[in-house]
Amino acid sequence: MRNILITDFALRAYVAASVVGLTAPAIGTFLVQRRLSLIGDGVGHLAFAGVALGLLFNLAPLWGALIVALVGVIGLERLRTSGRLSGDLSMALVFYFGIALGAVVLSALNRFDASAIGILFGSVFTVSTSDLVTMVALCAVDLVAVGLIYKELLAVALDEETARASGLPVEALNVVTVAMTSLLVVAGMRAVGLLLISALLVVPVAAGSRIAHSFRGSMLMAMAVGVISALVGLLIALWQGHIAPGGGIVLTALGFFALSMAVGRRASRRHPRGVVA
């Protein structure tokens, strides 16, 4: 058992899941505050089409997913801000187009098989070193971006109208936010899968926000929950041997959320005035 836990594939999986578990809530905190919790799901749908198109044009699935997710979600954001379609309707149309296109292209290529399941639900134990480098690089770009423009993203998340009135480039910041989401979704494709990555954007944030009393505190708490969920979920998958690691990670995060529901209110009562969580 101990040998399995420290094999090369397990070590790569720990790193891959941890960086995704760390990065997803950092972006998810802004998305949840802006009531865009489900955008990760939609980007996943687009990335699925990207994987299929990548195979069609002999491009690595990861790069195909990245290109289509980025182009699709930025185009969607422009469509939304132009007012030509309502936000949720435009999202629904584009995202359904993505999943349908992916299914059609993959089946036409006769590739609608176990590898497609791996894309949808993750296959973190098959991550290669080059995959890992790409995932870490994508997550690093996201974390650096959040660090550099944290205060601007917070101002927009708090109140878009007041942020716009104060001269902040709200449209550009919105594009950066959805672009960061795309990078994260693609990075998380192998770790937890396109259908479950959205859960890591949202569930740790939901848990963190039950405990903390500030936005920054919620984000840091959520990032901690994300990393711990990733590692615990992986260890359970390795120990048990037959369960999908992506599902294990998300269920662990949901367990932390349930715990936060139980203790969050008590933590709130204990919280002294004058201290920021």
Query: What does the binding site for another protein look like in residue numbers (CB under 8 A)?
Result: 29, 32-33, 35, 148-152, 154-155, 157-159, 161-169, 205-206, 209, 212-218, 273-276
Query: Please, what is the minimum distance in Å from the beta carbon of residue 216 to another protein?
Result: 7
The smaller minimum CB distance to another protein, of residues 113 and 159, is found at 159
The smaller minimum CB distance to another protein, of residues 117 and 144, is found at 144
Unique residue bearing structure tokens 């699925």: 48
Instruction: Write out the two tokens for 110.
Output: 């006769």
Query: Please, what is the minimum distance in Å from the beta carbon of residue 83 to another protein?
Result: 14
User: 53-56 — which CB contacts under 8 Å span 24+ positions?
Assistant: 53/101, 53/105, 55/105, 55/106, 55/109, 55/111, 56/105, 56/109
* DSSP state string for 214-272: SHHHHHHHHHHHHHHHHHHHHHHHHHHSSS-HHHHHHHHHHHHHHHHHHHHHHHHHHPP
Query: Please, what is the minimum distance in Å from the beta carbon of residue 165 to another protein?
Result: 4
Q: How far is CA 256 from CA 113, 195, 221, in A?
A: 33, 20, 11
The smaller minimum CB distance to another protein, of residues 22 and 205, is found at 205
Residue 270: CB atoms within 10 A of its CB come to: 8
Instruction: Write out the two tokens for 119.
Output: 């894309």
Query: Please, what is the minimum distance in Å from the beta carbon of residue 42 to another protein?
Result: 19
The smaller minimum CB distance to another protein, of residues 121 and 150, is found at 150
Query: Please, what is the minimum distance in Å from the beta carbon of residue 33 to another protein?
Result: 5
The smaller minimum CB distance to another protein, of residues 20 and 212, is found at 212
The smaller minimum CB distance to another protein, of residues 67 and 149, is found at 149
Query: Please, what is the minimum distance in Å from the beta carbon of residue 198 to another protein?
Result: 15
CB contact at 8 A, 251 and 43: no
* DSSP state string for 182-225: HHHHHHHTTTT-TTTHHHHHHHHHHHHHHH-SSHHHHHHHHHHH
How many whole angstroms from its chain centre is CA 71? 17
The smaller minimum CB distance to another protein, of residues 29 and 90, is found at 29
Query: Please, what is the minimum distance in Å from the beta carbon of residue 259 to another protein?
Result: 18
Unique residue bearing structure tokens 């996943």: 44
